[in-house]
Every structure is written in structure tokens, then in C-alpha cells.
Structure 1
Amino acid sequence: MSQIPALLDFLDHSPTPFHACANMVQRLQRAGFILLDEREAWQIEAGGCYCITRNDSSLIAVQLGQRPALQSGLRLVGAHTDSPCLRVKPSAVINRHGFCQLGVEVYGGALLAPWFDRDLSLAGRVTFELSGKVQSRLIDFKRPLAVIPNLAIHLNRQANQGWPINAQTELSPILALAGDNPLDLSALLTQQLAAEQGIESAQILAFELSFYDTQKAAQIGLNGEFIASARLDNLLSCFAGLEALLAAKTSGQHCVLVCTDHEEVGSASACGADGPFLEQVLRRLWAQNEAQFAQILQQSLLISADNAHGLHPNYADKHDGNHAPMLGAGPVIKINSNQRYATNSETAGFFRHLCQREAVPLQNFVSRSDLGCGSTIGPITASRLGVRTLDIGLPTFAMHSIRELADSRDLGFLIQALKAFFACDQVL
């Protein structure tokens, strides 16, 4: 339970994948990890701790063990930094009927209805020219700037029967009354750069901005049972993996935490799980030749940690009765015969044995046979690297909503299990 305040702080200060990545790097550097630049030659040594970023939104952190990787293999934990949200379009400003709005594009499989009537702010990365040089910085307005008001029920009598939400016409947040001076978004971003980063007179060239809910992450429930927040999918797993890695600094094993962007849209990017980022880093750190790299991977194990669907008391029929994980009852092994999850009997058996040894409760999740199944970075990474993989996650409610719900006890269970994984002498 002691990790809950730190998790809430991490969630509040990570409104975008860029901010999540920056916050993790800062935490790693405070713990003695050295930030490596992919453009430079690396000087590494046994027992060293290093981290690498790509696109400012994906991170790989490694602890080099004392034994040769050919003997011990790698212990990898994977998660993702992105969450469904509303991204601002490049030419975003809309002035209509006396209001100033910003056009948005839906990122990922978002639940759209919860975005209405929320106090929204803006954060992301801004690219600009200053003194002839192109640079990028992160910004976060933090204060409420916008809202997407619902249509009154008097004008939409079918609202409680459900209605399709048009992403083009119904989701543009309102920022202000249009007035005599229409919004200049570039000027607004320039002012924010000056206020937040101390950078004056920048010429805005491009941006990647997301709206987010300003309501803080919170521990709620009559007895503090729950964690309520945006972006639990999947910053909850990023945080747990980071905590476990930092605790494993004395384990002597080769440990890797990989938190990649773009999982919610398929992972097919230079910094996503379906891109070359992880493989390129692993080769630079451990591979002397192709045969040795294959040998190392075949002695390794990847745990893909991504949230699971908990049994909702109002919708219990959406679950297979024998595979319906409960909030507060520990991590979930995710299984799918059609390879939407990469778990097999060996990887599941290994993790079950590990959790039994650590007295960590464990559950199974299999989707109903008549319902579709989501996926994770697990099958993608397994197919790219050929590494044995296990898919797990913590049970949550309202996945892909603007505010999700998890059990406050499960975080400790997951961290405990991942700590044991990073420290174990042998995987499979």
C-alpha cells in the first residue's frame, strides 16, 4: 500500500506518453541509471544500469548482470506508455456560432461518452525554431482549458438509450467565446513555452497535443479499496515494472524494462513494440553474433504486463464464469488460443510457480468464446524476437475510459511478483 501515493503522483504528472517517459527517466537517473544516446557509441560495463529513449515516448531500462547473458538469459518486463485520448489536429482552430473550438482526432479505441462534461487541459510535445535551430520541448497547461458539453436531454430524448457519437462533429472541445480576437494556437503555445520552459520568441513548427481530464488520480472507496484515474491502462503496469526494476539493482541478473508507445493503435512505429527499438537495443548490449543472440533469447522470458478486464457486478454475463478475475484478488494470467495473448502452458506454469513461492494470489482470464478479445504487446514482441512470453495484467473496470478503476491491493501484488521475476536465478 505504500506505493499508492507514488503511483498517484506518477499518474497526475504523466498526461501524455512523453511526460510518462520523462518522469520514468528522471526516476531512473536519480537511482543511478545512465541515459544513453542511440546516436553515440555506448560505453557499458558489467553490473551497470542504463536507460534509452526513442521519440521521447518509449523507454528501455536495463540492469546488466554479473554472469554472461549466454548463461543466464534476460528477464524482460514490457508495458506501454500510451492511452486512448483526443489528439489535437494540426490546423485545429474552429470558430463557429460564437465559440472557439479545437478539432480533434480520436487516438485508439476510446470510450467517447465519458469525455463529455469534463474539465480538460492540454499537454504534449511542441517542436519549434529558435535561433535557426529546430528543438522540441514538453508542455502541460495543467489548468482546465476546455470542455465538451453534453446536449441537454430535452434536445436528445434518446440519450439514455444510447446514441452513436460522431467523432468529427460532436467531440470538438470548446475553449472560449470567439469574441473579436480569434484564437491563435501558435501564439498560445509560444506563451506556454515561455511560462513553462523559459523559452522566449519561439516559432512553432508542429505539435503533438492531447486533451486530458484534470481530475486528479485518487484512492477511493469506503475503505480506500480502489484507485481511480485516467491512464491506468497502462501506466499502472509501467509504474509496477519500474518499481520492480529499481528494487532488483542488487539481484545480479540481466533485467530489462521496456515501455513502448503506440500500443493502442497497433504498435507499428519506430518506437512501438512492432518496430525495431527493442531488438536494436538488445543487440547493441548483448549480441556478439547472430547465433549468440538467438541463444540468449532462448534462455530469456518476457512478461507483458497490461490491464485485464475485471468482473463487473453489473455486467457479470460479459465474462466466462470460470475465468472472471476479481479486483483485489491479484494479477491475472491472460490466455487466448488464437494468440491474441502470447501465454502458453510453460510460461503460465513458470509464473504460477513463482507467485506460489511469493504467496502472491493469481487469477486466470479467458474471454467468452462468443466475444472478441483485445491484444497486447506480448504476441507482437514474441513474434519479432522469438522470445518466450507471458501475458499478465491487473484487473480493472472501464478500460479505455477517461477514468478507469483498479484495486489498491493489486498493485503491491504485481510489484512483488515482478521483483521476484527480476531476481530469479533461472526462468525456464
Structure 2
Amino acid sequence: MTTQTQQGPSVGRSSLGRRRPHRAWSVAAVTFVTIIGAAAFASLPGLLIEPLHDDFGWSRGTIGFAVSVNLALYGVTAPFAAALMDRFGIRRVVALALVVIAVGSLLTVWMSAAWQLVLYWGVLVGLGSGAMALAFAATVTNRWFVARRGLVTGLLTAAGASGQLIFLPLLAWIVEEHQWRPAAVTVAIAAVSVVPFVWLFLRDHPADAGVAPYGAVEFVAKPAPVSGAARRAVTVLLKATRTGPFWLLAGTFAICGASTNGLVKTHFVPAAHDHGMPVPAAASLLAVIGVFDIVGTVASGWFTDRFEARRLLAGYYALRGISLLFLPVLLAPSVHPPMVFFVVFYGLDWVATVPPTIALCREHYGEDSAIVFGWVLASHQVGAAVVAFLGGLARDVFGAYDVVWYAAGALCAVAALMSLVIRRGALVSR
């Protein structure tokens, strides 16, 4: 797509003929690496359930509750973080969030009671990670890109999977060989190490670099800071709740969170361990899911630029539900070909739902789409939080996870039907 700007500071810098890539791609690259570095904290909860149960005697339901607080706050914080980025800038909000994550993770090393796990990992890490949520990726994409938004959304969403690929095997090895406390310290170090990178290289708006957004036909001045971030986030929510698409998107994304972060990311490793599989092997399978998640999410972004988003969502949820129904019979002491097939199949679908969901938010809610998506993401995390807790509770009550896998598969079928009901919005460049 031809990029053209008005006369001014951006003349010549974003023209199609220049040799250097548009500055938006370097900002996207910084965002990608930042999300990778921050992915360590998302990789650890599923690895902590058994060690914390063994060390402190806490029930899996209790540990699952702390994880559920983390997941819920991750979601609830996201829309306010998106509004805070409009007020104080992306760079400041993300840097502060990384510091909060590091502090919360480090404090868990000295905890001795379950309430401290809830406070440190649930509250502090949950609040910090909320600012690093997908609303961060949506904000960067909306500000810096007009063309290729679906592709960029897919790439930035895939960054979390890339981080999972890097950190899951490492953290699983640390937990297995050196217990869980060094793993928590590793998460803190990873979060802090990203802060200088964010502060030096991330930019809030294309105007800061004197260029137009990628694919824009004219230069866009940097808007004035928006005061009243909390009020704006709530106002946008109240406005969105008066529309049908919001409830359908929130409902489908709640099921998305329940069937991914809440269930598989939190409980797959202990469920596989119940069947005799070593923890490092189970964690490696999750990491492999991350490999194919990258492929699936980038492909989903490409598809979203070309096909109707609601139909893509329906297909993704239907396929995910089918795969989860087969999982209970696939778990075994060792890795075998059918399990590998599940990992590949499920990985391709893991967060493929994100690009079309963001696209639908953009179609229906325009300039408020990042904040609306933040609220939709909140529903994703509430769904994840509920299943993170109920999954641990089900394991305590029934001695197995089977009922949770089947229930999640049925919910995905419901999400597929809900996706098809979403009406088309105004056509907006994606």
C-alpha cells in the first residue's frame, strides 16, 4: 500500500521510495521483543502447582485461587492500562508494569502463607501483567499502523507464544533441578531486564518520530494526553455494553480464556504429571504448543486481513472444542504420536482468535477499540480465572481433570455459535 504524507516533518521519511523500512516496523519489533521478555511470568503458574502443594501442603484449589486472582486482575487492568497509555504514554506505563511484576515475583521467594501467594503473585503480578496484556499490542497497532493491522496483530500476539517457547523449558528445568524459588527469581530478572530496552527504544506515537502511521495517506499529529483515564475506560465500557456485539465478543473471549490460559496453560502440566509424565516433558509439550501458536497466530492475522472475522472465529472455536474432547484419552506417561498431533493442532488454534476479535472491535468501536478490546480481554481473563480455580477444585474433588476437559470442549462449541451471530460492523481498514 502506498504511504504518502503531507508536507512537514514527515516528508520523504515515510515515502514508498525510501530504502529504510518504515519506523512503525521497528516499533513493532521492540514491542515484540518486550512481550517475549515479559512472557516469563505467564509461563510459571502451571509449574508451581505441584511444588507449592508439596512444600506448603496447600490444596490445588488454594493455589488455583491465587492463579485465578492473577488472571482476573490481568484482564480487569487491561482497559485501564490502555486508557493510561493515552494519558501518560506507552513507554512509561509498560516500564512501570515490568517493575511491579519483578517485585511481585521476587517477594514470593520469602512467602510462608497462602495469602502471601495471593497478594504477591495474584495481585502484584496480576496488576503488572495487565498493563502488558494484548491491549498493549492493540494500542501499538492502532497508533502505528493503518495497513497490515491484522498481520501485525498476529505477530505481536505470537510474541507471547515465543516467550513461552523460550521460558517454559528453562523454568521447568529450574523447578525440577533447583526447586521453585530460583524460577521465581528468574521471572523477576527477566522482567527487569526488559525495562531499559523499553525506555530507550519504544516510542509512543508516529509523530514522535516525525512520520505518518504505516499505510496512512497523511501525517497524524500526536493527540494531547487524555486526562481521566479511569473515567474514560468506564465510559467506553458503559457505551459498549449497550451494543450486542460487545456481549457476544466478551462471551466468546471468556470461553477462549477458559479453554487456554485457565485450563491448558495452568493445568496441562499437573494433569500430564498425574498420568506419569515427567514435568519437564509436559512443559516441553506446552512449549511446542507455543511454536505452532506462532504459526497459527501470524496466519490468523493474515487471514483476518482477507476474510470475514466472525467466520474465522467460529471455525477456530469449533476446532478447539473438538481437540479438547480428545485430550483425556491422549494423556499418558510418555509422549506418543497422537499427543504430538494434539499439540500441533491445538497450538495452531491457541490464540488465533485474537486478530479477528481485535478486528471486530475495530469494526464496531473505531477509536475506542483498544479500550473496548481491553474490556473484552477482561472477560477472557475472568473466564480463565474461573477455570483456573475450578480446574484445581475438580482435581481435588474427583482426583482427575477429565470432567474439566469435556466441559471446556462443550463451551467452545457454544462460542462457535455465538461468533456466527455477531453482525457485521462498519467497514474499517484493518
Q: Name the TM tier (shorter chain).
A: under 0.3
The structure with the greater share of residues assigned to strand is: 1
Higher helix share: 2
TM-score if structure 2 supplies the norm length?
0.25
Greater RCO between the two (CA within 8 Å, min separation 6)?
2
